[in-house]
Chain A
Amino acid sequence: MSGIYIHIPFCKQACSYCDFYFVTRHHQKQAFVDALVEEIRSYKNLEISSESVSSVYFGGGTPSLLSAQQFEQILNALEDVFPLQLKELTIEMNPDDVRPDYLNELKSIGVNRASMGVQSFDENLLAFMHRAHNRSEALRSLEYLSAAGFDTFTVDLIYGNPGQSLEVLNQDIDTLLSFEPPHVSAYSLTVEPQTRLGKQVDLGRIIPPEDDQVAIHFETVVNRLGKAGIQQYEVSNYAKPGHEAVHNSAYWSHVNYLGLGPAAHSFLWDADRNQAQRWSNKPSLKDYLESPSHQKIEVEILTLPALAEERLMLGLRTKQGVGFAELENRYHFSLSDKQKLYLKEKQNLGLVEPQNDRISLTTDGLKIADSIILDLITSA
């Protein structure tokens, strides 16, 4: 096991754009932590828990709604079951939950990376997103975070919001850069159907910005962060050298990961590495509390050809791309002549990097990665 993801399904309120699983029944937090410990223990002495773990990621929901003691309880259980050799231990936080003593406690139990869900510093946008925090809380949280002295931290930003001007985006970037973040995740707003935003768009009450407009935002983010030394290394992820996310990068290169907690996803190669499985836990805290280790649903078996396709899909979203040797060795896959020809054409258009040992997209290519990936896969 190389990564463990733990889903903390509690939130103060629903953000308008978010379709992750969460509940607002905060009195169940301790019951949840106990159930989580039970789920962790159910893996004890299985083959799955013999592999060393290099990253643990608490995501949500809102992990910062748990106390440091509760995290400690979870980490102790993990320590007991899995051989932890952590390079990275991340907790996602919301600005309104962060106090210096809380950060210090987290640091003392081994958390070395904080992920701050700022999204924007603009009051109007924060209200539009229905975030629980305001501008001053966002600023304060980053001040605390800079002072806390984690090995590294990351800040989330959302751009391409309806009505968001380039000026407002630039202000958000200015403010963000003043905290010298080693890592930034900047996402263009995605309208998910099962969200309040999705419903409003359906009803025509909100009109998402034109792609051309979002493209300008995207370019602005890439350029400005890049100038500050925070380089794009994946479609939505930017880092100073050496600060790239360990855990999230594992998803893109088919490293085994185990998801714990309701709605968490897992991915695991078979022992002979001829296929892999992906599954998720049921998104229901109620069921989870009753039987934490029996929530496996949506089990998918992925064959090598499917995995190869998926690896291309994920790898081409990263600046590093995918190596030909890796494709051959891990997936017994090599590009067809038509695919090579396609890449050559795209190389001439400046969308694909000219390289002999791997495929990767240029910054321009990344902007239309979905289209290029689809073309590449279907031109086999």
Chain B
Amino acid sequence: MSNIRNFCIIAHIDHGKSTLADRLLQMTGTISEREMQEQVLDDMDLERERGITIKSHAIKLDYKHPNGDEYVFNLIDTPGHVDFAYEVSRALKACEGAILVVDATQGIEAQTISNLYQAIEQDLEIIPVLNKIDLPSSDPENVGQQIIDLIGCEREDILIVSGKTGEGVPELLEAIVERVPSPKQITDAPLKALIFDSVFNTYRGSVAYVRVMEGVLKKGDLFKFMANKEQYNAEEIGYLRMDYQPTKELKAGDVGYVIGSVKSLSHVRVGDTITTVKNAADKAIPGYQEAKPMVFSGIFPTNAEEFEDLRTALEKLQLNDASLSYEPETSKALGFGFRAGFLGLLHMEIVQERLDREFNIDIITTVPNVQYEVKLESGETIEVDNPSQMPEVGDIDAIYEPYIKASMITPAEFIGPIMKLCQERRGVYVNQHFMQNNRVEITYELPMAEVVFDFYDKLKSGTRGYASLDYEFIEFRKGDLVRLDILLNAEPVDALSSITHRDKAYYQGRKVCAKLKELIPRQQFEVAVQAAIGSRIIARDSVRALRKDVTAKCYGGDISRKRKLLEKQKEGKKRMKQVGSVEIPQEAFLAVLSMDDEDRK
């Protein structure tokens, strides 16, 4: 019997996964009290701040059972957001067990269920854990019943834990030994190692995090990635401790890292299989997918001189984030920039924030949109991920848009608001399913485009934060879609174009015009703001000309103040974009996104 246990933790954001993980590290002596920094595994600043895991992490723990036996635990921490569902599935594949962490004060959320089902499908042993039992508002009785209903376990199978105080953690460690099966150690088969994550190290190149499923990988072995056939030497292999711990070989059941001077992260793809060139496996581990961007947005430097810096920054980000894709884009309004593809909205926000924080580049992003399939009159079908590239109306036979299946879990009292929201977003009702505790799972099919805007925020605000969302792509469907253009003083602003359903175009056109009127500062001349479909103007508004803009007093002491103000205005002006003779502030490019602000008030 092997003494290895490979497991992950499945939990919703905020349910205390990272805190519990920290406690496991501490109680197994993997890190000392001194090294303890809260949420050790979330090592990006952004992850710590948002309290979410963006990348998968893994760490090897040594555990000494009270009976004296010693075990090796590999804890694989998984991303906790619907944008990263594929990464989660690969991390699960690397495990034999999963700790299902549910916040005893909140109950199970949609995403947890979807990840849990994936884990069950992959035959993982589930250890249900009720967390945060130290809080007075915890309700272990009812939340426990939810778990029982969901996975069909016995009440006594559920562990009661507080990641915060450490209560129940020793019992959890014992349960991992007893319940999680040890991996099958088929060492005499050809090598099959699953890549569940990869990171880029400036000095070492790409580092693949792997779970060896079958066979043995020895240091110095010539290996290949089965998806792209690229070959490398295993220059260094080892275990994942707080640092890399080199070793001579990784055997079936082991979790570790492989360094092979792989220059580009694009060769190291999550879900791919590594095998040795000699005695190669004939089949890869099933389930590999190429990362497919779902959401697209233009990214432009505020200052045109920073275009090259932006390119470098994106290249660097991509090294650590293979799911980010981008290509150069030129906008008449915004100049040179990039069209980037993201897994989802959160992924997009993260990339934007990292550009700002880690690379200090001021960027303007355009309204996110999905990718459309456009069937042309000529019979040809093209993919369009940028509204300004939508062909002329006359050339289009039909436009197809991506649909998702969205499942939302909510207390029953919010069914109404959720249905209303989904109807407004052109949703197609599928079903609803009542769960324990007066909770309901509602399923809708929705155009992805309707979800990328502000669906999640609306869902949260409409349910006082209770509802959770999970979704998956289903198919492309034909839609009555049009391109809505925005013109300023009769000049179209390409970066403000959007694709929308025909029925919503008028409403949206009016809203965008009103929003722009609010956002565009008054200039020395009147600015006409118009929305158009093709050559037909469907909404108009105007920004009146400036009538008074002059400081009243400018004597001795006022002069330095006026100068400082002028310096500030000069900076502000640099951040404006000139379209024709009209100056547009950056926020205007997201006008379509925030146009529902008034509704929220």
The reply on A333 being an interface residue by CB < 8 A is no
A97 CB contacts on chain B under 8 angstroms: none
Asked whether A378 and B570 contact (CB < 8 A) given A251-B554, A317-B554, the answer is yes
Name A265's contact: one of B544, B546, B557, B573 (CB within 8 Å).
Answer: B557
Question: In the complex the two chains form, is B550's CB within 8 Å of A367's CB?
Answer: yes
Most buried by A among B523, B552, B553: B552
Which one of B547, B560, B566, B569 has the highest number of Cβ atoms from chain A below 10 Å of its Cβ?
Answer: B547
Task: Return chain A residues, CB-CB under 8 Å to B544.
Answer: 212
Within 8 Å of chain B (Cβ to Cβ): is A351? yes
Report B189-204 CB contacts with A as 1/0, cut-off 8 Å: 0000000000000000
Encode contact with A along B541-585: 1 for CB under 8 Å, 0 otherwise: 000101111111111110110110010011001100000000000
| B524 at the binding interface (Cβ < 8 Å) | yes
Let me know if A371 and B549 touch, CB within 8 A: yes
Which residues, 339 to 366 on A, are CB-close (under 8 Å) to B?
346, 349, 351, 366
* In the assembled complex, A31 has its CB within 8 A of some CB on chain B: no
Residues of B within 8 A of A82 (CB): none
A369 and B550 contacting across the interface, CB-CB below 8 Å:
yes
Question: Contacts A187-B553, A374-B570 hold; do A215 and B548 have CB atoms under 8 A apart?
Answer: yes
**Chain B CB within 10 Å, residue with most, of A263, A368, A373:** A368
Whether A248 pairs with B555 at a CB distance below 8 angstroms is: yes
Contacting residues of chain B (503-560) with chain A, CB-CB under 8 angstroms: 522-525, 544, 546-557, 559-560
A215 touches B556 (CB 8 A): no
Please, how many angstroms separate the alpha-carbon atoms of A372 and B559 in the complex?
A: 17
Given contacts A212-B547, A218-B548, A371-B524, contact A310 B563 (CB under 8 A): yes
- A190 at interface, CB cutoff 8 A: yes
Judge whether A374 and B556 touch: CB under 8 Å. no
A181 at the interface (CB under 8 A from B): no
- Are the CB atoms of A215 and B570 closer together than 8 Å? no
Q: Which chain B residues border A252 with CB–CB below 8 Å?
A: 554
How many interface contacts (CB-CB < 8 Å) are there between A and B? 98
B560:A317 contact, CB within 8 angstroms: no
Q: Is A367 in contact with B552, judged by CB distance below 8 angstroms?
A: no
Q: Once bound together, how far apart are the Cα atoms of A252 and B548, in whole Å?
A: 21
Given A278-B559, A372-B524, A378-B573, A367 and B551 contact (CB-CB distance below 8 Å): no
- Indicate which residue in B525, B553, B557 contacts A263 across the interface (CB closer than 8 Å): B557
Kindly state whether residue A257 has any CB partner on chain B within 8 Å.
Answer: yes
| Residue-wise interface mask of A (289-319) relative to B, using a CB-CB cutoff of 8 A (1 in contact, 0 not) | 0000000001010000010011001100100
Chain B residue with Cβ nearest A211: B548
A173-B435 Cα distance, complex, nearest whole Å: 76
Q: Is A264 part of the binding interface, using a Cβ–Cβ cutoff of 8 Å?
A: yes
Tell me if A188 counts as interface (CB < 8 A to partner B). yes
Please, which residues of chain B bring their CB within 8 A of the CB of A298?
Answer: 560
- Chain A residues near B570: list those with CB within 8 A: 374, 377-378
A346 to B222, CA, bound (A): 72
Interface presence of A16 (CB below 8 A): no
Contact indicator A314/B552 (Cβ below 8 Å)? no
CA distance A106 to B523 in the complex (A): 48
Bound CA–CA A374/B549 (angstroms)? 11
The digit string for A251-286, where 1 denotes a CB below 8 A from any CB of B, is 110000101000111110000000000101000000
Query: Is A370 in the interface zone, CB < 8 Å from B?
Result: yes
Known contacts: A212-B547, A368-B549. The answer to whether A251 contacts B556 by CB under 8 A is yes
* Shortest CB distance B220–A (Å): 62
Chain B residues within an 8 Å CB radius of A212: 544, 547-548
A197-222 residues at the B interface, CB under 8 angstroms: 211-212, 214-215, 218
Closest B residue to A263 by beta carbon equals B557
Residue of A189, A211, A257, A349 with most partner-chain B CB within 10 A: A211
Contact of A370 among B549, B555, B556, B563 (CB under 8 A): B549
Contact across chains for A370 and B573 when beta carbons are under 8 A apart: no
Do B563 and A188 touch (CB < 8 A)? no
Q: Does A235 contact B (CB under 8 A)?
A: yes
Contacts of A278 in B (CB 8 A): 559-560
Indicate whether A5 reaches chain B with its CB closer than 8 angstroms. yes
With the chains together, A374 CA to B554 CA distance in Å? 16
With a CB–CB cut-off of 8 A, which chain A residues contact B525?
A: 349
Q: Please tell me if A64 contacts chain B, counting CB pairs below 8 Å.
A: no
Interface residues of B in 157-208 (CB under 8 A from A): none
Q: Give every chain B residue within 8 A of A248 (Cβ-Cβ).
A: 555
Give complex CA distance A185, B430 in Å. 73
* Contact B549–A236 (Cβ < 8 Å): no
B550 touches A187 (CB 8 A): no
Are A188 and B560 CB-contacts (below 8 A) given A351-B524, A378-B570?
Answer: no
Q: Which residues of B contact A189 (CB under 8 A)?
A: 552
Q: Which residues of B contact A370 (CB under 8 A)?
A: 549-551
Closest to A264 in B: B556
Residue of B nearest to A306 (CB): B563
Min CB distance B347 to A, Å, is: 36
Question: Which residue of A has the minimal Cβ distance to B556?
Answer: A265
When the two chains form their complex, are residues A211 and B547 in contact, meaning their CB atoms are under 8 A apart? yes
Cα distance, A220 to B256, chains bound together (Å) = 80
A313 to B558, CA, bound (A): 12
B302 to chain A, nearest CB (A): 15
- Docked-complex contact B556 and A349, CB < 8 angstroms: no
A310 to B549, CA, bound (A): 18
Q: A1-22, CB under 8 A of B: which get 1 and which 0?
A: 0000100000000000000000
Contact present for A259 and B546 (CB under 8 Å): no
Contacts of B562 in A (CB 8 A): 313
A257 pairs with B556, CB closer than 8 A: yes
Please give, as numbers and ranges, the residues of chain B lying within 8 Å of A366 by CB-CB distance: 550
Question: Smallest Cβ distance from A5 to chain B, in angstroms?
Answer: 6
CA distance A375 to B560 in the complex (A): 19
How far does the Cβ of A132 sit from chain B's closest Cβ, in whole Å? 20
Select which of A266, A300, A367, A377 is within 8 A of B566 by beta carbon. A377
Q: Is the CB of B546 within 8 A of A236?
A: no
Question: What chain A residues lie within 8 Å of B549 (beta carbons)?
Answer: 211, 367-371
A212 CA / B551 CA spacing, docked (Å): 15
* Closest chain B residue, CB of each to CB of A235: B550
The residues of B that contact A188 with a CB separation of less than 8 Å are: 548, 552
- 22 A–B contacts from the bound complex (CB under 8 Å): A211-B547, A235-B552, A235-B554, A248-B555, A251-B554, A257-B556, A259-B556, A265-B556, A265-B557, A298-B560, A313-B563, A313-B566, A317-B554, A351-B524, A366-B550, A367-B548, A370-B550, A371-B523, A374-B573, A375-B524, A377-B570, A378-B573
The 6 A-B pairs of least Cβ separation, nearest first, read A215-B547, A215-B548, A265-B556, A187-B552, A369-B550, A265-B557
Interface residues of A (CB under 8 A from B): 5, 187-190, 211-212, 214-215, 218, 235-236, 248, 251-252, 257, 259, 263-267, 278, 280, 298, 300, 306, 309-310, 313-314, 317, 346, 349, 351, 366-375, 377-378
Starting from the known contacts A251-B556, A378-B570, 5 additional A-B residue pairs (CB-CB under 8 Å) come to: A187-B553, A188-B552, A215-B548, A280-B560, A306-B563
